[in-house]
Structure 1
């Protein structure tokens, strides 16, 4: 059987967003088709409150979904729909912006570590102008499993299948059928999770190092893999990895800041809607 191989590696860049939150943009912006259906991945992590305390004051989104996964810290979500949620360590927020959401994400701590990820997941054209949706998943709502070889898996979205174990995640989404797993491989462990044929597959190593079909992926590297074959992972030193997989949409992607549509005209309409005060009506 052929193996899924690393076809490219990518190192993120330091930047800031919101009101001055320091973060690493693992990918996002240029050539989003490479990562279809995924648009952006940000990693944030600091024990210096000056790097996160300003948070993300109210701002709009249209045309995609955001997934926020907290490793450590406390963040409060509020939006124009009246949703209020507190993201704590181990929790996930899944927001489908669709036709439009205006929300804020503000730290609920003045010291300590704030650490986690935000992933942007595209929506197909047929769903971009549907009603928005929002849900928080507390740590106890997200399945966590431990395999006989010591590998730990947080099954956020999709279904994890390996070693005769199958576990549905907290979130199941149509169209893109995303899989989002947080993997912890102890030193010397290996893993071969099932990934649907044709799914775009990304691996982000945020601690340690990972070996994928004989190629080493180091800390803070993103690996983009081939779309077919068996996935084989191992680690000599131990690793923590975000596995991100999804079915490509294959439609034009036009992005302008927090708006992701299929054409320039739709982007201009979003800007007019914000200007005219009808963005969420």
Structure 2
């Protein structure tokens, strides 16, 4: 067994997107190879409707998949294919934009005006860039949840974990997407695929993550696997942890416990040409998509 080294720990940064949605961006529009196949991750969390109610009006996507996970409030969505629906607390939607789609996402707060959710963008390989667009909407009760003896709780949204399989399937990046809660003071080790690109996003409480490669600014622990490893200083709310190659991570929950997303996927390792919500392999493909948006041929007829 080998710990995944911590390549980077950084805080999400404030951004405004859509028609004025205030959010925190953990990564996006930087180096797409860092977390290949993932391109962007946003945390939209607010209790002021003025900062989210105008939402994300009609806009295009091509060449990617978007994963929306709602914790509080609701998101009404609609698209150019005629689909309509509402994501509630605990629900998830995986949208494959493929050859092109126009859609909108309009958030609403709960009874306390709270809105909280995440959106992750996953790249599509060149062979699937122009596939037919489609959705997978999953309601909260259909997401399996497993609780370990020490109180650690994992919602298995995508992939296999602890004998459960998430309900979203057939995704190009073959990802694993987990919502993990570790109680206060508990130290927990999670087994993961060795070579997949992996990140954790801490959004509640705090935790220290074991790191076998960084000897500075950390605490030393000697009881993990019988070997001395390093524990990074406590990472708190809205912190992204990016991991390297290895087959496990170890988390020491802080005094308030910790809740974080743990996401991994198989890298695509292809060229990325990126223009806003359109991600292709070449500049020429981007130019073609923009021309199609302008002349009204962006949406392909269903077959």
* TM-score normalised by length of structure 1: 0.95
CA distance in 1, matches of 2:122, 2:47: 28
Structure 1 residue 254 corresponds to structure 2 residue 273:
yes
Mapped contact 1:18–1:57 kept (Cα < 8 A):
yes
By how many angstroms is 1:190 displaced? Answer: 2.6
Aligned to 1:96: 96
By how many angstroms is 1:109 displaced? Answer: 4.8
Mapped contact 2:72–2:109 kept (Cα < 8 A):
no
Moved more, 171-180 or 265-274: 171-180
Mapped contact 2:198–2:262 kept (Cα < 8 A):
yes
Moved more, 116-125 or 174-183: 174-183
CA distance in 2, matches of 1:10, 1:172: 30
Cα offsets for 1:55-96 (capped at 9, x unmatched)? 111100000100000000011010011111101111001100
Aligned to 1:185: 182
Give the secondary structure class of the aligned counterpart of 1:193: strand
Give the secondary structure class of the aligned counterpart of 1:222: strand
Aligned to 2:34: 34
Cα offsets for 1:16-57 (capped at 9, x unmatched)? 111000001110001111110100000011110000010111
Aligned to 1:147: 148
CA distance in 1, matches of 2:67, 2:2: 32
Q: Out of 243, 248, 256, which is 1:225 matched to? A: 243
By how many angstroms is 1:174 displaced? Answer: 4.4
Moved more, 208-217 or 25-34: 208-217
Q: Which runs of structure 2 are paired with 1:35-184 in the superposition (5 Å)?
A: 35-109=35-109, 112-161=113-162, 166-184=163-181
CA distance in 1, matches of 2:52, 2:84: 20
Mapped contact 1:273–1:279 kept (Cα < 8 A):
yes
Cα RMSD (Å): 1.3
Give the secondary structure class of the aligned counterpart of 1:275: helix
Give the secondary structure class of the aligned counterpart of 1:81: coil
Q: Which runs of structure 2 are paired with 1:203-242 in the superposition (5 Å)?
A: 203-213=200-210, 214-216=231-233, 217-237=235-255, 238-242=257-261
Moved more, 188-197 or 74-83: 188-197
Larger Rg: 2
* TM-score normalised by length of structure 2: 0.88
Structure 1 unaligned runs (5+)?
Answer: none
Aligned to 2:10: 10
Aligned to 1:273: 292
By how many angstroms is 1:172 displaced? Answer: 2.5
Mapped contact 2:159–2:165 kept (Cα < 8 A):
yes
Mapped contact 2:75–2:87 kept (Cα < 8 A):
yes
By how many angstroms is 1:2 displaced? Answer: 2.2
Give the secondary structure class of the aligned counterpart of 1:227: coil
CA distance in 2, matches of 1:68, 1:13: 19
Aligned to 1:201: 198
Mapped contact 1:159–1:179 kept (Cα < 8 A):
yes
